[in-house]
Amino acid sequence: MKNARFKDIRGFSLLETVMALVLLGIVGLSTAMMLRLGADSFSMVSSRTEALNKAQLTLHRMSQELLALNVGDLQNIAENRIDFVDGDGIESNFRSVASPEGHLQIYRSADLLADSLNKFRIAYFGADGTEISEPSEVNDVRRILIEMSIAAGEDYGTVEINRSVYIRSYYYSNYN
């Protein structure tokens, strides 16, 4: 009689249990892949944002000092260096130097402004818009274009940014 009571009760077969485990594994694996993609995207966006912020801060600091230049404050120009007299009357410069790792670093005199740069270039333009390449024409400079490209981290590419600076004193002193 005992066996008659349990005869109609059935459980899961081994095949049904294995199928359920396989389906749960597939669902779990696809969920983990989706979460990983989200985390990778967040990491990429964070890294590129950090690189952009570093580049913008460097460009802002450089452009603010260059905007304050007066006629005759520029002393020497080159593609990777600009020498000038700052607002306090002290000779200063912005320059790029190759680091031991092979990246470029930007300095203001002895202070490091940015590192991990792939490209840094300063271009100079005259009043007619033509590019000036000769250091002897330093007094003809009216606009300074600063271009840089900074690495965004682990295979997340580079962030390129540039800014033009118009030397204010020429516009206000030559305004008719």
Do 123 and 147 form a contact (C-beta atoms < 8 A)? yes
What does the pLDDT look like over 38-97, one tens digit per residue? 998 998 899 889 889 999 999 999 999 888 888 788 888 888 899 998 888 889 999 999
Provide the mean pLDDT of the chain.
85
Q: How far apart are CA 92 and CA 74, in angstroms?
A: 10
Is the pLDDT at 155 greater than 60? The verdict is: yes
Do 104 and 112 form a contact (C-beta atoms < 8 A)? no
- Domain ranges in the chain? 14-173
The secondary structure of residue 100, as a DSSP letter, is T
In the chain, what percentage of residues exceed pLDDT 70? 90
What does the pLDDT look like over 108-130, one tens digit per residue? 988 998 888 889 999 999 888 88
Please give the C-alpha separations between residue 134 and each of 69, 78, 106, 170, in angstroms, as whole numbers: 20, 8, 22, 20
The torsion region of residue 173 among left (phi > 0), alpha (psi -120 to 50) and beta comes to alpha
The secondary structure of residue 143, as a DSSP letter, is E
Residue 8 confidence (pLDDT): 66
Please state the rounded mean pLDDT for residues 136-144.
82
Do 161 and 55 form a contact (C-beta atoms < 8 A)? yes
Is the pLDDT at 172 greater than 70? The verdict is: no
DSSP 3-state assignment of 110?
A: coil
Residue 176 confidence (pLDDT): 44
